[in-house]
A and B are shown apart, each in its own frame.
Chain A
Amino acid sequence: MRIHKYEKIWLTFGIGCLFVFLTVVGVSAFAEGNQPPSCLTTIDPEKVDQTPPFNKPGLVKTGNNEYQLNMVASAFTFTPNQIEIPKGAKVTINITSKDVIHGFEVAGTNVNMMVEPGYVNSFTKTFNQPGEYTIVCNEYCGAGHHMMYGRIKVVDK
């Protein structure tokens, strides 16, 4: 099979770009820890209300300027749905679902997770910009899907 000289150049350039892209993604993921949410914890979806920490959803202080935000998604609400976070705080968001699949997205940021019944999902974010953010459910969950939202207020302490 004859490969034209120009095609060789083109493919070498293309495959070179591919390796650059993959290296960037890989280094960011494995060396700098920018991994996608992949908490491997399971939970009984029907016993979420009895299982800590989801029996008492909300923001918990865990260290100096470090917090855990434990949330429950269900059709068609987030609990809690009004959250105040001090500016600059490092917040680990844990979330699970009581019924169907939901999405958890803090619009305009990179906080974005699938929320699936039976699993806890988790993502850590430092909120440096004060302001108000909308939490939306971004996976179809039924007739009230577009009514499912919450608010995060990042406030100066």
Chain B
Amino acid sequence: MMNETMKVDRRDAKLALAHIYVAFTALALGGLAGLLQTLVRSGKLQLPAGISYYTILTTHGTLLGLVLTTFFIIGFQFAAISRTAGTLSDRVRFWSWVGFWTMTVGTAMTVFFILTGQASVLYTFYAPLQAHPGFYLGLTLLVVGSWISGFATFAHYARWKKEHPGKASPLLTFMAVTNMALWLVCTLGVAATVLFQLLPWSLGFVDRINILVSRTLFWYFGHPLVYFWLLPAYMVWYVCIPKIIGGKIFSDSLARLAFILFLFLSIPVGFHHQLLEPGITPFWKFVQVVLTFMVVIPSLMTAFAMFATFEAYGRSKGATGLFGWLRKLPWGDARFFAPFVGMVFFIPAGAGGIINASHQMDQVVHNTMWVTGHFHLTVATTVVLTFFGAAYWLVPHLSGRVMTKAMNRLAIIQAVVWAIGMSFMSGSMHFEGLLGAPRRSAFSTYGNSPQALEWIPYQIAQAVGGTILFIGIILVLVIITNLAFFAPKGETEFPVAEAAEPQERAALALENWKLWIGITVALILIAYTVPFIDMIQNAPPGSKGYKLW
């Protein structure tokens, strides 16, 4: 039984690898777009051949925010459920491939319309800026493909439950299922606005669009999206990292509880992105601010579990003193080091998040470079470095190869390069934002205003950071290509730790999906029903489309 599940089945490995290849291709293209952005914004470079800054910006946001993340996560999760709940059935695997190809075709369509300049609407595609219908259709396919993969995941989980009555599911599988449940519930919002509002409107079936409704549906999806990125990183932290360092999972059932809390609390929080909008009453904004803050609780639980695992391991190796255990950790192992750097960056990132979600402080930083700096810490450092760290064992595990010492050293250098580059870039973005510089803007001195001239040195620092980060991207692409195609053949472990106390009964009780989904829906209804009715009843005349690029 154990041996059967130790190695991901070769057919499942192919599926997971296909997702990972698309993810890293997106990283290459989107990363290049990011480099160009920082260079343009520094004022030292003009894009050739009339390429618009905003086309590059749309490419960067879409490929890294939506494509890299979604593909890596789904690929990783397929590998995780195959490893912990057994080889996928032929049917589940067939539908997973259908999901993969639907997503890939959708991505190709979307990227085509962006690169040909027909959809410079940024990855938030706010109406009434109107992109080519093919852009929205491509995004629809991307989302629908991910749903097919989500249902394939649920089917695999259901089969395991049926075959193991009265047993708690493997922790990684449970976490993957929770994350896909979160994804399905939150993408309903973006699907609704794209299918019922943006597509008919861009195709000319209807003339006008309700802006506030489309924004609200977008942000209903837009913030949980962040947790959809974060939860797989937490899966690696909770389950894989303890095994890599040689320790145990601090508590299986507390890990499950944290994931369930994320499912409840990540979705009814979108209004904190809309705090400065005209059509929502302050009371409902505050309700969602409160719900947003509650996400702190599972985050703190995760932080505790991580450091408890590290400390328990260090002490079991004979560490003494308050922080002696820090020295016992495997600093030379990139599988640990890269995610750890990510964890460290999550501390200021989380603090910044609390600032963004607060009524009066958001007033100062909303839509400034501060926000850009913030999510380059959360997503582009914490999540991405954890994904890199996971790829360092996942890719060779799936490709039947091993990571050499040289590659491991290169991976450590990569994480250091990333940390330095991001400190420059994100750090100066935060300061620049506090001085008022707007996000998502090309280089401008705003008519030589003294305030805008103050921002320029920070923009140059961002370009320095962006260049260092691009070197980091090249390094990681070298490592991943090596691990997938050129590294020596051999066996690499898919690390799954055991729980410190494996026989906890609470774990099973935490699989009451009807109750969890019910609570999630109830919280969403509480947070959205009244303001949503208000938006429709007090709607202004709708907007027709504009193509202003």
Contact = CB atoms under 8 A, between A and B. Distances in A.
Contact of B281 (A1, A38, A107, A136): A38
A36 interface: yes
Contact of A43 (B441, B540, B548, B549): B540
B502 interface: no
A119 interface: yes
Interface stretch (B5-13, B287-295, B338-346, B384-392): B287-295
A35 B444 contact: no
A112 B296 contact: no
Interface string A103-118: 1011111101111111
Output the residue of A105, A120, A122 with the most chain B CB within 10 A. A105
Interface stretch (B198-206, B237-245, B356-364): B356-364
B366 A26 contact: no
Nearest to A108: B436
Task: Identify the interface centre among A34, A40, A134: most chain B CB within 10 Å of its CB.
Answer: A134
A75 B278 contact: no
B542 A118 contact: yes
B145 to A, nearest CB: 27
Given A11-B301, A29-B360, A105 B296 contact: no
A34 B54 CA distance: 35
Given A18-B293, A29-B282, A151-B449, A140 B54 contact: yes
B323 interface: no
B180 interface: no
A114 to B, nearest CB: 5
| Interface size classification for chain B | 35 or more
Nearest to A19: B293
B296 A18 contact: yes
B105 interface: no
Contacts of A3: 254
Interface in A4-28: 4, 6-7, 10-11, 14-15, 18, 21-22, 25-26, 28
B491 interface: no
Given A45-B543, A105-B367, A138-B368, A116 B297 contact: no
A27 to B, nearest CB: 11
B438 A105 contact: yes
Contacts of A151: 447, 449
A151 B251 CA distance: 57
Contacts of A21: 293, 354, 358
Contact of A118 (B360, B366, B435, B543): B543
Interface string B90-117: 0000000000000000000000000000
Contact of A120 (B278, B294, B504): B278
Report the interface size class on chain A: 35 or more
B446 A149 contact: yes
A143 interface: yes
Interface stretch (B121-129, B228-236, B521-529): B121-129
Contacts of A39: 278
Contact of B444 (A114, A115, A117, A146): A146
Nearest to A29: B359
B438 A119 contact: no
Interface string B270-283: 00001111111110
Contact of A100 (B278, B360, B438, B546): B546
Given A107-B435, A110-B360, A18 B548 contact: no
Interface centre among B254, B257, B275, B359 (most CB of A within 10 A): B359
Contact of B54 (A1, A40, A143): A143
B449 A149 contact: yes
Contacts of A40: 278-279, 281, 538
Given A34-B360, A101-B211, A143-B52, A117 B128 contact: yes
Interface of A: 1-4, 6-7, 10-11, 14-15, 18, 21-22, 25-26, 28-30, 34-46, 75, 99-101, 103, 105-110, 112-122, 132-134, 136-147, 149, 151
Given A36-B285, A142-B548, 4 more contacts: A1-B257, A2-B251, A114-B278, A118-B541
For the complex of A and B, the 3 pairs showing the least CB-CB separation, nearest first, are A142-B548, A107-B436, A118-B540
Interface of B: 52, 54, 57, 120, 122, 126, 128-129, 211-212, 215, 251, 253-254, 257, 274-282, 285-286, 289-290, 293-294, 296-297, 300-301, 304, 308, 354, 358-360, 362-364, 366-368, 435-444, 446-447, 449-452, 501, 504, 506, 538-543, 546, 548-549
7 contacts: A3-B254, A7-B254, A22-B293, A29-B359, A101-B128, A105-B438, A107-B451
